[in-house]
Amino acid sequence: MFTRAITRKPCRALIDGITTAMFGEGTPDYDLAVQQHDNYVKTLRNLGLEVLDLAADERFPDSCFVEDPAVVMPECAIITNPATDSRNGEKFEIIDAIKQFYKDDQIFHIEAPGTMEGGDVMLVDRHFYVGQSDRTNAEGFKQFADIVGRFGYEATAVPVTEGLHLKDFVIYLEKGNMLVSPKMNEEPAFAEYTKFVIDPDELYAINSMNINGTVLVPEGFPKTLKIIEDLGYPTIVLNNSEFSKIDGSLTCLSLRF
Ligand code: CIR
């Protein structure tokens, strides 16, 4: 059960965010991004979460994607080590927010040469699956597994070969149900789960977000929406178009705990 979230307002420099255009072409419209972000925060608040919405930080174009510089769980928070030069400094900026909710001895760090971004980290009950991607390396995984192991969590590394982060290609809903890309459907680490394979033309909607039993789904993906509705979930559809242009999905925009 989530009770809180941390978000950060998009900055004007968002238009210079890193992108492979894996989900959409074009430059984000700043004003529209602000509107979409406001709506995202409002939606989390309507679902009962207390949201700390941090001020925009113009030094870091991608800083609204707060999921990447930290990984949070009830027992501790792990400040990651983002892999790209333009994002690495975000780890210093998220700490003040984290310190409002975690004591110093509950805060851990991924250290170089380890790299990690939270978009690669997916929790299933007490088991973390960690993408091995351009952003999270084997050393980052090793440090992470060691930290969470102290709190009784298991951790398994999963190769990510299709694009940016693990959670762009697999998302856990609950009760053993996962939304997966056709490729992740073949991943041995997920053999035991019930997988719903998302059409290649709707891959962006894999990153839907279960908040306490209501699933937030990006707008424009009717086949995925139907799969989620047929599973019995109430859904809320959110337009995330401006973030998708710089490879940002729904979960990227918050830390939830
Ligand atoms: C980046 O390339 O780092 C950003 N433009 C997008 C980050 C998306 N974050 C996420 O999936 N957790």
Nearest CA to ligand 1 atom 7: 248
What is the predicted pLDDT for the residue at 140? 98
In the predicted structure, residue 211 carries a pLDDT above the cut 90: yes
| 247 CA → ligand 1 middle, Å | 6
In the predicted structure, residue 96 carries a pLDDT above the cut 90: yes
Average pLDDT, integer, range 104-133: 98
Residue 65 CB less than 6 A away from ligand 1:
yes
What is this structure's pTM?
A: 0.98
In the predicted structure, residue 233 carries a pLDDT above the cut 90: yes
Give per-residue pLDDT as tens, 162-194: 999 999 999 999 999 999 999 999 999 999 999
Considering the candidates 11, 64, 76, 252, report the single residue annotated as catalytic.
Answer: 252
| 33 CA → ligand 1 middle, Å | 15
Residue 57 CB less than 6 A away from ligand 1:
no
Give per-residue pLDDT as tens, 5-14: 999 999 999 9
Nearest CA to ligand 1 atom 5: 18
Has 11 been annotated as catalytic? no
Has 76 been annotated as catalytic? no
In the predicted structure, residue 24 carries a pLDDT above the cut 90: no
CA distances in angstroms from 65 to 127, 146, 235, 245, listed in the order given: 23, 25, 22, 13
Average pLDDT, integer, range 196-217: 98
What is the predicted pLDDT for the residue at 23? 92
Three-state SS string across the chain, please?
A: CCCEEEEECCCHHHHHCCCCCCCCCCCCCHHHHHHHHHHHHHHHHHCCCEEEEECCCCCCCCCCCCCCCEEECCCCEEECECCCHHHHCHHHHHHHHHHCCCCHHHEEECCCCCCECHHHEEEECCEEEEEECCCCCHHHHHHHHHHHHCCCCEEEEEECCCCCCHHHCEEEEECCEEEECCCHHHCHHHCCCEEEECCHHHHHHHCCEEECCEEEEECCCHHHHHHHHHCCCCEEEECCHHHHCCCCCCHHHCEEC
Measured from the Cα of 82, ligand 1's closest atom is: 3
Nearest CA to ligand 1 atom 9: 252
pLDDT exceeding 90 applies to what percent of the chain? 99
What is the predicted pLDDT for the residue at 125? 97
User: Considering the chain, what is the average pLDDT of its residues?
Assistant: 98
Please choose from 15, 130, 168, 246 the residue to mutate so as to test ligand 1's pocket, defined by most ligand atoms within 8 A of CB. 246
Residues 6+ apart with CB under 8 A from 188: none
What is the predicted pLDDT for the residue at 42? 98
